[in-house]
């Protein structure tokens, strides 16, 4: 797909406004705000929607999927508490925007998408190819990436009806898994921590509405 790669002073200003808006709504993690201030969200949108790239809403990206709302991306990224050099697994690459945010935050980012068309689109997306710390996989996120485990952080960006146990297994000691837990239409954001003695604790946060996490791959 052809993408317009224009990033003007006006876009920079719109990003600063978006960062102010997120800060006012409780996103205070500088690493997250810096990533959002850096990444041209318009690159990740369908061409007809580029003018609304900095509106704080989810938008369609084709294949029945959406690019998450900036507030949601920021909220999940903040809960994930990523430090430079951490090995992070994302489930649901979608537009690739969340992957870029985590990569700018310094993660060594592994991301899985179950839809072949979205996977191919991201692999050929020049802006994302510019990151040498993003690794794309086509597969079923319910299975994770056992060969690359353990991960310091795991982020699920689709609604999971239950906590996928293979992902808990693939979490390092001291690791955190953030996911929207529940069925449509509304989920609770949950953070699972695996402690150094392998015990697990669960914290519950605000309500969100994600597209469902589906089983298996799609051609
Ligand atoms: N992180 C994305 C959000 C995309 S929406 C962004 O920044 O744009 C959720 C994505 O999860 C969709 O692309 C959907 O196809 C994908 N998905 C759903 N179930 C999945 C699964 N089991 N494994 C991998 N990806 C999945």
For 163-206, write each residue's pLDDT tens digit.
999 999 999 999 999 999 999 899 999 999 999 999 999 999 99
Measured in Å, residue 91 CA sits from the centre of ligand 1 at 6
Is residue 8 domain-resident?
no
C-alpha 215 to ligand 1 mean position (Å): 11
Residue 84 lies in a domain: yes
Distance 141 CA to ligand 1 centre (A): 9
In a domain, 214, yes or no: no
Instruction: Round to whole Å and give the CA distance between 213 and 91.
Output: 9
For residue 98, being part of any structural domain is answered with: yes
Asked whether 213 and 159 are in contact (CB, 8 A), the reply is yes
Instruction: Report yes or no on 21 lying in a domain.
Output: no
Q: What is the end-to-end Cα distance of the chain in Å, rounded?
A: 17
CATH code of 163's domain: 3.40.50.150
What confidence score (pLDDT) does residue 190 get? 98
Q: Would you say residue 70 lies in a domain?
A: yes
Question: What residue's CA is closest to ligand 1, atom 17?
Answer: 92
Is 68 a catalytic site residue? yes
Q: What is the pLDDT of residues 31-83, one digit of tens each?
A: 999 999 999 999 999 989 999 999 999 999 999 999 999 999 999 999 999 99
Domain count across the chain: 1
- Does residue 36 fall inside a structural domain? no
Separation of alpha carbons 145 and 158, rounded Å: 17
In a domain, 201, yes or no: yes
Q: In which domain, by residue range, is 157 found?
A: 58-208
For the CA of 214, the nearest atom of ligand 1: 19
Q: Specify the pTM.
A: 0.97
State whether the beta carbon of 68 lies less than 6 angstroms from ligand 1: yes
């Amino acid at each position: 797909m052809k993408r317009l790669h224009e990033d003007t002073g006006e876009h920079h200003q719109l990003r600063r406004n978006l960062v102010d808006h997120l800060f006012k709504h409780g996103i205070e993690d500088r690493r997250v705000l810096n990533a959002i201030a850096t990444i041209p969200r318009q690159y990740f949108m369908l061409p007809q929607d580029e003018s609304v790239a900095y509106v704080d809403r989810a938008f369609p990206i084709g294949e029945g999927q959406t690019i998450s709302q900036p507030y949601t991306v920021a909220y999940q990224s903040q809960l994930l508490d990523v430090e430079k050099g951490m090995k992070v697994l994302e489930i649901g690459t979608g537009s690739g925007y969340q992957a870029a945010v985590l990569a700018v935050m310094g993660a060594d980012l592994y991301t899985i998408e179950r839809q072949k068309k979205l996977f191919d689109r991201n692999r050929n997306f020049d802006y994302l190819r510019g990151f040498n710390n993003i690794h794309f996989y086509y597969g079923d996120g319910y299975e994770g990436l056992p060969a690359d485990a353990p991960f310091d952080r795991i982020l699920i960006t689709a609604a999971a009806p239950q906590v996928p146990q293979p992902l808990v297994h693939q979490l390092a000691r001291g690791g955190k898994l953030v996911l929207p837990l529940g069925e449509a239409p509304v989920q609770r954001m949950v953070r699972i921590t695996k402690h150094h003695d392998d015990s697990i604790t669960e914290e519950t946060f605000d309500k969100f509405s994600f597209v469902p996490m589906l089983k298996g791959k799609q051609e």
